[in-house]
Chains A and B, each alone.
Chain A
Amino acid sequence: MFESLSTRIQGAFKTLRGEVRLTPDHVEAALREIRLALLEADVNFKVVKAFIDRVRDRAMDQAVLRSLTPGQQVIKLVRDELLALFGDTEGGLTKDAPTPRVVLLLGLQGAGKTTTSGKLAKWLVRQGRHPLMVSTDVRRPAAVEQLSVLGRKADIRVHAPETMDPVARASGALAEAKAMGFDTVIVDTAGRLHIDDDLMGELQAISDAVHPSDLLYVADAMTGQDAIKSAGEFHRRVGVTGVVLTKLDGDARGGAALSVVSVVGVPIAFVGSGEQLEDLELFHPDRIVSRMLGMGDMLSLIEKAEQAIDKDEAAQLEEKLRKNEFTLDDFRSQLKALKRMGPLESVLGMIPGLGDLKQAAEHKPDEKQLGRVEAILSSMTADERRDHSVMNGSRRKRIAAGSGTSVEDVNRLLKQFTEMRRMLQTMGRGGMPGAGAGMKLPKMAHGLRPGSAPRGAGSGKKRKKGGPWGLMRTR
């Protein structure tokens, strides 16, 4: 749907192919793309502004301007900045808490608080804990019942007193936990608007009564610009210690996550990835950043790859990539590994950078085509696979006959291979963010002082018609 951020950044630099020198204007063009992409991902526009300023300061660095792969450099910069914003977090609950620990879930209507209460209880059980749940939502029809059903399903004790006073219900649960030896109390609250003074007061009263060590703000990943207002106000009133980002199993870009985190300044603790009680995961900054950049889920790729690819083999491959010694033989073993990793399309989607490739190449490689490629490769001699430069006309003819394909097929494969080799080499040289060698790039030196960066179109006070956001169509 949305053009990925990395595609856009690459695109901004593509226009200047053939030009010798990069200028700040080119960087400015890339920044414009980043700005639009972040807005489309629902990052709050104020947050976008601050973010762009930070990236600009770093992107005007001479190292970027001189780089052969400026697009890659800028993507990496953006990625680093995003990661810095999300912080070095492993997710989960706060580290020190008295026993019983009290966890309060709060947020807007329909965000997923009650469901998350159930999921969290199950998660705690998996950690060897003994949670007790209580609903303080006496307003929404069947909200108390909803938590009870979840408790039955997950086999979690639910404190269910007669009283319909939210504060008394929460305190009662804490007392029961102390008396019965539960080590965690999960308090579900009613959804409320941050501008509803009465209900915000009620929330404060609940919090004051049970002194939670964890106040989890539950936010819908599909939220738009409003995210900072609501999160900010909840934080101001009760002090949030962590964020749970729900409904991340959809296709929202998750920009709200960035907005919320920038405003409340606390890490994301968990993400909700489905409606089932098992669908709660610890937050990994990498994953959401990849999602925002449109670079696929690199971590799951790595996990999958680790299962499919032998460690030594991988190290060897990296070495070969660096030395540009990648052969048809390696290509063949990679193909085999790829096949072990699942459907080709989903694998391609996960490989950083190849997201675009997948898009660009309308002709998605299908499994049948793969079979043909494998046949061609097996019809080659070991020598040919080791060094494809020996491939002459008669060898090609023989391979085609041996594999039941045509000479054109063989030619196409060889051409694709050389292209791939070239591409892999650029990636190996350090352009690719997050993948292999790219991670090991030396940190760029800061060239320009912050603030001395040249400003591009729009920020001047000239009488121009285009807004700084660059949204206007040029006619």
Chain B
Amino acid sequence: MGHVPILDRLRDGLTRTKRRLVDRFDEIVRRADGQTSGGDAIDVDTVEALEELLLSADVGVAATGRIVSAVAGRARHGESLRDLVKGEILEIFGAVAPVAPGVGGREGEDPRQSNGPPSRVVLVVGVNGTGKTTTVGKLANLLKASGKRPLVCAADTFRAAAVEQLAIWAERADVEIIRSGDGADPAAVVFDAIQAGQARGCDPILIDTAGRLHTRANLMSELDKIRRVAWRASEGAPHEVLLVLDATVGQNGLTQAREFTSAAGVTGVVLTKLDGTAKGGVAVAIAHDLKLPIRYVGIGEGMEDLIPFSPQEYVDALFQQQW
């Protein structure tokens, strides 16, 4: 079989630390597979180990319970337990609505054509410190590499040096940036960026917003204001709202997804910091409960460390037998 670069990247990110987890899983699988071929139900130790495996990946109590009972219920038919678990998780990801046109928009369109469609506007949101600004930088780089002409907008006018941070990323990725002073109205910067972006023929327009906890009602309504202003600047904007989720997050991730979706109309998730030991399993619960697709995963602090999410690769990488 040929070399699949993306799979390799993801594998690299996951390998470092998943090894022990996988060894453990293999042990379970071997035991369980040996047993199930005999036509027996799985014993309680296996169920415990399986539950622990999923819990330790932050899949959460409810989703773990669902996966384990589904698998345990079918295991007696002599199937491999590993495949059953993978299949179950894939099914959850699979039930998510088919992916709409990606962040970069439809292929082969040149926004600079005089009466072409308006630039796509992508709003990047999330709680504090998850990796929004970094993701905007990486995304700009990714899109530029694929022949687009992205523009980034520094709408985090609150956090110390957030604008400078994005400016450095814009420089690295060699893309244009629209910025304004600290303390400026973020919605006003967004308006300017969309207008400037359209005028200059930039597409897409990537908007970095300040981190905010979903419990802060006033900050959440600021997102709503940004949305309204974006629409005023360009009908239909924002076309995409990406929620940036830290893979180390626990069950609060589900609440984040729910709250940001209701306040800001999230259309997709970016799962960052997958290069650590955390597995971001709450994404499984998010896919199940909210039917939100995961668009990209972050696997490092470098500019190249963002790859499109593929459920199959994610699950394969989690449950790979040998690396």
Q: Which residues of A contact B161 (CB under 8 A)?
A: 142-143, 145-146, 148-149
In the complex, what distance in Å separates the CA atom of A473 from the CA atom of B60?
14
Binary flags per residue of B251-266, CB closer than 8 Å to A gives 1, else 0 = 1110110000000000
Q: Which residues of A contact B42 (CB under 8 A)?
A: 465
Given A39-B55, A472-B69: A466 and B44 within 8 A (CB)? yes
Asked whether any CB of chain B lies closer than 8 Å to the CB of A95, the reply is no
In the complex, what distance in Å separates the CA atom of A206 from the CA atom of B248?
26
Name the 7 nearest CB pairs between A and B, nearest first: A224-B250, A110-B129, A42-B250, A471-B65, A467-B47, A141-B168, A226-B278
Could you say which of B56, B57, B162 has the most chain A C-beta atoms within 10 Å of its C-beta? B56
In the complex, what distance in Å separates the CA atom of A45 from the CA atom of B50?
13
Sample 23 A-B pairs with CB under 8 A, ordered by A number: A108-B273, A109-B273, A110-B128, A112-B129, A114-B160, A141-B164, A142-B164, A145-B164, A146-B162, A153-B160, A193-B275, A220-B248, A222-B127, A222-B249, A223-B250, A225-B55, A226-B277, A252-B252, A465-B42, A467-B47, A469-B52, A471-B68, A475-B69
- A251 touching B160, Cβ below 8 Å: no
Asked whether any CB of chain A lies closer than 8 Å to the CB of B290, the reply is no
Known: A195-B276, A253-B251. 20 other contacts (CB 8 A): A40-B60, A42-B250, A112-B128, A141-B137, A141-B165, A146-B161, A149-B160, A222-B127, A224-B248, A224-B278, A225-B57, A226-B276, A226-B278, A227-B248, A230-B248, A249-B213, A250-B252, A275-B128, A465-B41, A469-B64
In the complex, what distance in Å separates the CA atom of A36 from the CA atom of B60?
10
Binary flags per residue of B226-255, CB closer than 8 Å to A gives 1, else 0 = 000000000000000000001111111101
List which B158-180 residues lie within 8 A (CB) of chain A.
Answer: 158-162, 164-165, 167-169, 172
In the complex, what distance in Å separates the CA atom of A150 from the CA atom of B158?
12
In the complex, what distance in Å separates the CA atom of A72 from the CA atom of B296?
47
Q: Which residues of B contact A251 (CB under 8 A)?
A: 213-215, 252, 255
Q: Which residues of A contact B24 (CB under 8 A)?
A: none
Nearest Cβ on chain A to B172's Cβ, whole angstroms: 8
Kindly report which residue of chain B lies nearest to residue A151, judged by CB atoms: B160
Asked whether any CB of chain B lies closer than 8 Å to the CB of A468, the reply is yes
Q: Which residues of A contact B56 (CB under 8 A)?
A: 44-45, 225
Asked whether any CB of chain A lies closer than 8 Å to the CB of B209, the reply is no
- B66 touching A473, Cβ below 8 Å: yes
Asked whether any CB of chain B lies closer than 8 Å to the CB of A1, the reply is yes
Q: Which residues of B contact A468 (CB under 8 A)?
A: 44, 48
Q: Which residues of A contact B214 (CB under 8 A)?
A: 250-251
Asked whether any CB of chain A lies closer than 8 Å to the CB of B34, the reply is no
In the complex, what distance in Å separates the CA atom of A468 from the CA atom of B51?
9
- A472 touching B55, Cβ below 8 Å: no
Nearest Cβ on chain B to A4's Cβ, whole angstroms: 14
Residues of B at the A interface (CB closer than 8 Å) are 16-17, 41-45, 47-48, 50-52, 55-58, 60-61, 64-66, 68-69, 72-73, 127-131, 137, 158-162, 164-165, 167-169, 172, 182, 213-216, 246-253, 255-256, 273, 275-279, 282, 301
List which A215-245 residues lie within 8 A (CB) of chain B.
Answer: 220, 222-227, 229-230
Q: Which residues of A contact B17 (CB under 8 A)?
A: 195
Given A139-B301, A249-B213: A472 and B47 within 8 A (CB)? yes
Nearest Cβ on chain B to A452's Cβ, whole angstroms: 22
In the complex, what distance in Å separates the CA atom of A473 from the CA atom of B62?
9
- B250 touching A467, Cβ below 8 Å: no
Kindly report which residue of chain A lies nearest to residue B165, judged by CB atoms: A142
Q: Which residues of A contact B213 (CB under 8 A)?
A: 247, 249-251
- A111 touching B60, Cβ below 8 Å: no
Partner of A467, one of B60, B68, B162: B68
- B250 touching A256, Cβ below 8 Å: yes
- A458 touching B44, Cβ below 8 Å: yes
Nearest Cβ on chain A to B57's Cβ, whole angstroms: 7
- A464 touching B160, Cβ below 8 Å: no
Chain A, interface size category, equals 35 or more
Could you say which of B68, B158, B167 has the most chain A C-beta atoms within 10 Å of its C-beta? B68
Q: Which residues of A contact B68 (CB under 8 A)?
A: 467, 471-472
Nearest Cβ on chain B to A322's Cβ, whole angstroms: 38
- B55 touching A193, Cβ below 8 Å: no
In the complex, what distance in Å separates the CA atom of A369 from the CA atom of B167?
55
Q: Which residues of B contact A255 (CB under 8 A)?
A: 250
Asked whether any CB of chain B lies closer than 8 Å to the CB of A126, the reply is no
In the complex, what distance in Å separates the CA atom of A468 from the CA atom of B17?
26
In the complex, what distance in Å separates the CA atom of A277 from the CA atom of B51?
41
Q: Which residues of A contact B69 (CB under 8 A)?
A: 471-473, 475
Partner of A247, one of B45, B51, B128: B128
Q: Which residues of A contact B41 (CB under 8 A)?
A: 463, 465
In the complex, what distance in Å separates the CA atom of A216 from the CA atom of B252?
24
Nearest Cβ on chain A to B235's Cβ, whole angstroms: 33
In the complex, what distance in Å separates the CA atom of A141 from the CA atom of B134?
9
Given A149-B161, A463-B43: A108 and B276 within 8 A (CB)? yes
Nearest Cβ on chain A to B297's Cβ, whole angstroms: 15
In the complex, what distance in Å separates the CA atom of A145 from the CA atom of B158?
14
- A229 touching B277, Cβ below 8 Å: yes
Kindly report which residue of chain B lies nearest to residue A38, judged by CB atoms: B61
Asked whether any CB of chain B lies closer than 8 Å to the CB of A194, the reply is yes
Asked whether any CB of chain B lies closer than 8 Å to the CB of A449, the reply is no
List which A180-212 residues lie within 8 A (CB) of chain B.
Answer: 193-195
- A247 touching B168, Cβ below 8 Å: no
In the complex, what distance in Å separates the CA atom of A250 from the CA atom of B126?
13
Q: Which residues of B contact A247 (CB under 8 A)?
A: 127-129, 213
In the complex, what distance in Å separates the CA atom of A145 from the CA atom of B172?
17
- A471 touching B61, Cβ below 8 Å: yes
Nearest Cβ on chain B to A260's Cβ, whole angstroms: 12
Asked whether any CB of chain B lies closer than 8 Å to the CB of A461, the reply is yes
Partner of A250, one of B16, B127, B282: B127
In the complex, what distance in Å separates the CA atom of A27 from the CA atom of B252?
29
Asked whether any CB of chain B lies closer than 8 Å to the CB of A140, the reply is yes
- A469 touching B249, Cβ below 8 Å: no
Asked whether any CB of chain B lies closer than 8 Å to the CB of A17, the reply is no
Asked whether any CB of chain B lies closer than 8 Å to the CB of A440, the reply is no
Q: Which residues of B contact A222 (CB under 8 A)?
A: 127, 246, 249-250, 252-253, 256
Q: Which residues of A contact B247 (CB under 8 A)?
A: 226
List which A117-176 residues lie within 8 A (CB) of chain B.
Answer: 118, 139-143, 145-150, 153
In the complex, what distance in Å separates the CA atom of A220 from the CA atom of B249?
9
Asked whether any CB of chain B lies closer than 8 Å to the CB of A368, the reply is no
List which A442-462 residues lie within 8 A (CB) of chain B.
Answer: 458, 460-462
In the complex, what distance in Å separates the CA atom of A271 from the CA atom of B53?
30
Kindly report which residue of chain A lies nearest to residue B275, judged by CB atoms: A193
In the complex, what distance in Å separates the CA atom of A280 from the CA atom of B120?
40
